[in-house]
Structure 1
Amino acid sequence: MDLSNNHFSGNIPGSIGGLQKIINLSLANNYLKGPIPGSFKTLLSLEFLDLSKNNLSGVIPKSLEALLYLKHLNLSFNKLQGEIPTGGHFGNFSDDSFVSNGALCGSSRLHVPLCKYRTKVEPNWRKAKYIISGVMSIILLAAAALILVLCRKRNVEVVRETALLPQVLWRRVSRLELVRATNGLHESNLLGTGGFGSVYRGTLSNGIDIALKVFNLQLEEAFKSFAKECEMLSNIRHRNLIKIISYCDELDFKALVLQLMPNGSLEQWLYSPNRSMTILQRLDIMKDVALALEYLHQGYSIPIVHCDVKPSNILLDDDMVAHVADFGIARLIGSGDSMTETMTLATVGYMAPEFGMEGSVSTSGDVYSFGIVLMETFTKRKPTNEMFVGEMNLKQWIADSLFLNAAIDEVVDADILGTEEDGDFVSRRDCLSSVMRLALACTAALPKERINMKDAVVALNKIKAKYLKDSGGVNS
């Protein structure tokens, strides 16, 4: 019986105990109040009980311990209080079953306060024994911590170029805190869903707004993706790379706490009807992406290949500054990682030819993907657009337009080109032609014929400077 997501109010009737053969019962996400009826103890066949997201109060009846077949219990997001029972199947339930009930107490594994019991007054000598033991334990722990810090400091000095300092500064957070921060991972907080999991908007207890990337652990690849992102993001720092704030690594819950990007992704800006970007905004965003890739390829001790550069992985902050995200399948050049997963998980349309046919991973593959994104940003056409069939693709479409000079007008986004009556139409068209030539230089068929990201950054700076000069600095 599923009665969830309605507008039921009032108390749960005690007569519910008459449903003695019921196996699954959900009353979640209603407006029910009052206590949990003790008559639940007669539902001896019950295997699944969900009373979450109501206004239930009082204690959790110990009589629920008698439900021998109960495998799933969810009492989260209510106003329950008192001790969480420990008998029956309660020993198998996790903290998820009791999240956001402010006055519950019980075992520390459930992330609730310990219950306070009256204890007998102990003799002073026994108290002294405990105090001495406690002091000795603290001294030993402090000594161990000091040794660990000294060893870590020495290791950091030996491999200073790996820049591991940010990892030390991460604050590991609990699943409970993250569930609370995202309103119970509620749909209204969902920002998007990807291949390995979902991303939620949330606010930590200290007031910091976050994006929470929760990995779908039913997928074997998600475990590897979580480990890969932790590895990559702990070792790299750049203004145009997404910043990790914290993480949660529990047996059945793995998540990354990331810097929230309020303006969403480049993909959303390109294809949302109520959003638009100027030529200069698009140039600046692509320059930000180029700088991030240049750092990954040349600014780190070992070159890093992102492997999945695409508009949905380019996120924008309050000031429309771009940050490259999603390092789930990134690779360190020469690390010996298997390339099979990368070939499978990289995105069709943005993948370099040698990537898909041979599994060859190199920085040139990222340059190719950057070139495709550059084309898409200024044409507002996806490489998988249905218009591209047979031998015709986004790259060929652009190349053909450049051979026929006037045809550039037909391929770029009309919103930024304007009309010939506009005062800076010629400067706009020249700018867009230069952008497309750069994009083609990035997407040469052979990897060795492609430019590198450092040269791409220089080219974008020149294109922007020339456009500002020719257009008289008009912000268009």
Structure 2
Amino acid sequence: MSFASNLEKLHLWSNNLSGKIPDSISNVSKLTILELQGNSFFGLIPNTLGNLRFLEKLRLNSNHLTTKTSTHEWSFLYSLANCRHLRILDLSINPLNGLLPTAISNLSTSLQNLRVVDCKIKGSIPMEIDSLSNAISLDLSSNKLTGPIPTTMGRLKNLQLLNLYGNKLQGSVPPDLCGLKGLYKLSLGANELDGPLPTCLCELTSLRYLNLFSNKLHSQIPLSFWSLKDILEVDLSSNNLSGSLPLDIGNLKVLISLNLSRNLLSSDIPSTIGSFHDLQVLDLSRNRLQGPIPKSLGDLMSLKSLDLSNNNLSGVIPKSLEKLYDLNYFNVSFNRLEGEIPSGGPFSNFTAKSFIKNYALCGSPRLQVSPCKNKIHRNFKKTARHSLRYVLPTFVSTIIVVAFIVVYKKWQHGGINLAIVEDLIPPKNWVRISYNQLLEGTSGFSGSNLLGSGSFGSVYKGILSDGTDVAIKVFNLQIEGAFKSFDVECEVMSNILHRNLVKIITCCSTIDFKALVLEFMPNGSLEKWLYSYNYFLDILQRINIMIDVASALEYLHLGHPVPVIHCDLKPSNILLDKDMVAHVGDFGIAKLLGEGDSIKQTMTLATIGYMAPEYGSTGIISIKSDVYSYGILLIETFTRKKPTDDIFVGEMSMKHWVKRSLSEEIIGVIDSSLVQKTDEYFVTKANCISLIMRLALDCSAELPEDRLDMKNVVSMLKNIKREYLNNLEQD
């Protein structure tokens, strides 16, 4: 096999190639990337690889490569010491065997990513591992490593991922690891580690994923641990951890998964556990927990799996759990529970296995429990009904007379404005909600419940009498156009229904009060996620959001009997639900196209920067006006620059800025938090965003007829997403 001497990149992954890697590959002295993974190469890894002095990426994973049979010597590591630019080395899934040599310290200090997964290596991790001073990711999982975790690992200050899962490591979790301030994921599960958890784990404020399951850890979980308020997944299952769960557990408000099963935890489940609004998996099974199941678990609206089995829990199963409509796994077996098993919500799908071996549960025969006894005797009910037949009419008549006298006297003295009690009847499919209910549900429209303010009023978070969280948009009727805006939103939103549009639950309308009751979006607006310093969206999340928005517009323009023009598309009107699905809202200046109409003229102006040229200059709007706004929104989402940013002055508009970058260097306009030139997947990310920017420019063309329609936009964005994911897998 011969190679061109000027070759810089060689990608031969997943080609069913076999045989030995030829020594002659070292003649390609300018090679920077060598990817041979996913083939059937066997034999020794050539020492001559060290001649590739410019090598940056070396991927040999998923082959049949070995080391010398007698000594298991990894001599190739010594030669790789000459590759001073080596950033990525992946030797995973090869039968390398032998010991992990101290020669690992000879590797370049430029090394950022080292993967030696499932290579059957034995012995201890050498103390010299700290020589990899610039390592970002270190993965030695699924091997046969023994001995302690070297304390020197605490010197790898740039480390973001440490994965030692599935070995036979012993000793305690060294407190030295608490020095890894940038650590994002720590996986030490399935080892033989013992001792207590270090109290200093709370110092790992960048930690998002912690996996310590199946070890021999003991003692109480340090109270300081519960201050890791940004952690997403915690798995401490199958250890010997004891003590109680403190109220401070409620600090982990963004937690997605918590597994503390198979430990020795005791005492009650704290009610603060109900503050985990994003929690999807909660497993506290096989402990010694006692007391009642907290009603606050019914607040975990994202919960999909709840396992409380094999404890000493008592009392009833709270009916509040009926609100957990996403719950698809539930297990409270082997406890001391009693009372009626709830039947609403997800409970209609659970089987007898979820409830076996309890003290005195009752309910449906299909759950293999006793039927519940009716505590109200039938004769008593019959007597009560007979009495009410005579008592109730007299009582109601008395109330009406008294009420009439009170109202009449107040009216005589000017004490009541009869006009404000005249509620308009909402559409038949809406629930009727009074002003007083909204007042109570928002604590008197208090500032603590204020979600935001817009052109025509304010939006508050509220709670309905049935416990449903809602957003209440209260119109400021002192503002010109507020009445019309309310009427438009009622008209438009009562007739449209789509997963990517904000759902209107009902309205409340009197002479001097008008409000819309909307589906609550717990993750707020796209604007918040783009411009608040403590929020972040990655490339894939932004693509998904923009696909959602495009799908909503496609429905409004093409999927509804009467085309709807939104007219005010911008980040603050894109709202995100608990699953980060985007919903388009605020139809206050929307327009309906009449039969046969393709354009309309309006005097109402939308937000500067997002309006199509023909809209801003002549008031002409069409569905292509929304397409223009969408193009601007698409640019903003990936550049994190508003169309009214100070850099856009004179001839330099947002579109000119992006167009120029496509011919020069796209990195100059991309949101810097998304991609840097030093990123491992820089080319893939940059290419993806370049395609998105070209699509955005096609949407925001000057002339309406040159713009795409939203059906094509949805299709093109989905193709860009598919290509991006495929390229990530190949990199």
- What is the TM-score of this pair, normalised by structure 2? 0.42
Indicate whether 1:92 and 2:416 are aligned: yes
| Conserved 8 A contact 1:167-1:235 | no
**Equivalent residue for 1:28?**
none
Q: Could you tell me how far 1:208 is from its partner in structure 2?
A: 0.6
Q: Could you tell me how far 1:258 is from its partner in structure 2?
A: 0.1
Match of 1:178 among 438, 452, 459: 438
Match of 2:486 among 226, 235, 241: 226
Indicate whether 1:411 and 2:669 are aligned: yes
Secondary structure in 2 matching 1:328:
coil
- Which residue identity does 2:684 align to in structure 1? S
**Equivalent residue for 2:229?**
none
| Conserved 8 A contact 1:192-1:198 | yes
**Equivalent residue for 1:6?**
none
Match of 1:306 among 566, 570, 577: 566
**Equivalent residue for 1:373?**
633
**Equivalent residue for 1:210?**
470
Match of 2:529 among 269, 277, 299: 269
**Equivalent residue for 1:340?**
602
Q: Could you tell me how far 1:339 is from its partner in structure 2?
A: 3.4
| Conserved 8 A contact 2:600-2:620 | no
Q: Could you tell me how far 1:418 is from its partner in structure 2?
A: 2.7
1:399-419 Cα offsets, whole Å, 9 max, x none, are 110111xx2101010111133
Indicate whether 1:458 and 2:693 are aligned: no
Q: Could you tell me how far 1:334 is from its partner in structure 2?
A: 3.0
- Which residue identity does 2:676 align to in structure 1? G
| Conserved 8 A contact 2:602-2:621 | no
Match of 2:699 among 420, 442, 451: 442
Query: For structure 1, which segment, 325-334 or 462-471, has the greater mean C-alpha deviation from structure 2 after superposition?
Result: 325-334
- Which residue identity does 2:670 align to in structure 1? V
Looking at structure 2, the residues matched to 473 and 321 of structure 1 have their Cα atoms a distance apart, in angstroms, of: 27
110 and 439 in structure 1: CA distance in 2 versus 1, 3 angstrom threshold: closer
Q: Spell out the pairing of 1:180-259 with structure 2 (5 A cutoff).
A: 180-259=440-519
1:276-305 Cα offsets, whole Å, 9 max, x none, are 000000000000000000000000112111
1:305-326 Cα offsets, whole Å, 9 max, x none, are 1000000000000000000001
**Equivalent residue for 2:614?**
354
Q: Could you tell me how far 1:91 is from its partner in structure 2?
A: 2.5
294 and 473 in structure 1: CA distance in 2 versus 1, 3 angstrom threshold: farther
| Conserved 8 A contact 2:565-2:592 | yes
Looking at structure 2, the residues matched to 473 and 180 of structure 1 have their Cα atoms a distance apart, in angstroms, of: 56
| Conserved 8 A contact 1:308-1:329 | yes
Q: 4+ runs of 1 displaced by more than 2 Å?
A: 83-96, 334-342
| Conserved 8 A contact 1:417-1:429 | yes
Looking at structure 2, the residues matched to 314 and 284 of structure 1 have their Cα atoms a distance apart, in angstroms, of: 13
- Which residue identity does 2:512 align to in structure 1? D
- Which residue identity does 2:703 align to in structure 1? L
Q: Spell out the pairing of 1:4-153 with structure 2 (5 A cutoff).
A: 86=410, 89=413, 91-92=415-416
- Which residue identity does 2:495 align to in structure 1? N
Secondary structure in 2 matching 1:415:
coil
Q: Could you tell me how far 1:470 is from its partner in structure 2?
A: 0.5
| Conserved 8 A contact 2:602-2:620 | no
**Equivalent residue for 1:22?**
none
240 and 87 in structure 1: CA distance in 2 versus 1, 3 angstrom threshold: closer
Larger helix share, 1 or 2: 1
Match of 2:683 among 408, 415, 426: 426
Looking at structure 1, the residues matched to 564 and 690 of structure 2 have their Cα atoms a distance apart, in angstroms, of: 30
- What is the TM-score of this pair, normalised by structure 1? 0.64
Number of equivalenced pairs: 321
**Equivalent residue for 2:396?**
none
| Conserved 8 A contact 2:701-2:707 | yes
1:224-276 Cα offsets, whole Å, 9 max, x none, are 00000000011111000000011101111000000000000000100000000
| Conserved 8 A contact 2:450-2:461 | yes
| Conserved 8 A contact 1:379-1:411 | yes
Q: Could you tell me how far 1:171 is from its partner in structure 2?
A: 1.2
Looking at structure 2, the residues matched to 237 and 181 of structure 1 have their Cα atoms a distance apart, in angstroms, of: 25
Q: Could you tell me how far 1:440 is from its partner in structure 2?
A: 0.4
Runs of 5+ unmatched residues, structure 1 = 1-82, 97-108, 112-165
Q: Could you tell me how far 1:169 is from its partner in structure 2?
A: 1.1
| Conserved 8 A contact 1:95-1:176 | no
- Which residue identity does 1:340 align to in structure 2? T
Looking at structure 1, the residues matched to 458 and 446 of structure 2 have their Cα atoms a distance apart, in angstroms, of: 11
- Which residue identity does 1:399 align to in structure 2? K
Runs of 5+ unmatched residues, structure 2 = 1-405
- Which residue identity does 1:461 align to in structure 2? K
- Which residue identity does 1:413 align to in structure 2? D
| Conserved 8 A contact 2:419-2:511 | no
Secondary structure in 1 matching 2:473:
strand
- Cα RMSD (Å): 2.2
210 and 458 in structure 1: CA distance in 2 versus 1, 3 angstrom threshold: same
Q: Could you tell me how far 1:212 is from its partner in structure 2?
A: 0.2
Q: Could you tell me how far 1:94 is from its partner in structure 2?
A: 7.2
Secondary structure in 2 matching 1:323:
strand
**Equivalent residue for 1:74?**
none
Secondary structure in 1 matching 2:729:
coil
**Equivalent residue for 2:348?**
none
